[in-house]
Amino acid sequence: MIDWHEVNQTDGTCDECGETIVAGECKRIDGERLCLDCAEARGTDAAELERWLQSVLECVDEDEVPELAECSVRTFTEAGLLTRDRGVVVTLADGSEFQLTIVRSN
Ligand SMILES: [Zn+2]
């Protein structure tokens, strides 16, 4: 899970750009420790939206939307997709699979 508020209390380096990070000035995203610039470039909004989309789809009432009964919802990160996009992979009970990509338009 991504904890946006987790602040690492020791000095270190950014996993993306290699810059030195002083204590408290980093974010932990997808298990990586990033400097604030890289964290922002990673797209915080889309990442939060991705988690929200996942939780919403997992909680759909199966009586209302039987098509989504027993579906599995993974984020692109969890599914191991080689993309910088954000989104979720929805696998339905019949095995069909859909990718919902979050595209920021504004
Ligand atoms: Zn960085």
Q: What CA–CA distance (Å, rounded) separates 43 from 13?
A: 20
The pLDDT tens digits for 54-82 are: 988 888 888 888 888 888 999 998 899 98
CA of 79 to the centre of ligand 1 (A): 24
**CA 41 to ligand 1 centroid distance, Å:** 9
- DSSP letter for 84, please: S
Q: How far is the CA of 53 from the centre of ligand 1 (A)?
A: 27
Mean pLDDT for all residues in the chain: 82
Distance 39 CA to ligand 1 centre (A): 7
Q: Is the pTM of this model over 0.75?
A: no
Distance from the alpha carbon of residue 27 to the mean position of ligand 1, in angstroms: 10
| Residue-wise pLDDT tens digits, 5-16 | 455 567 888 998
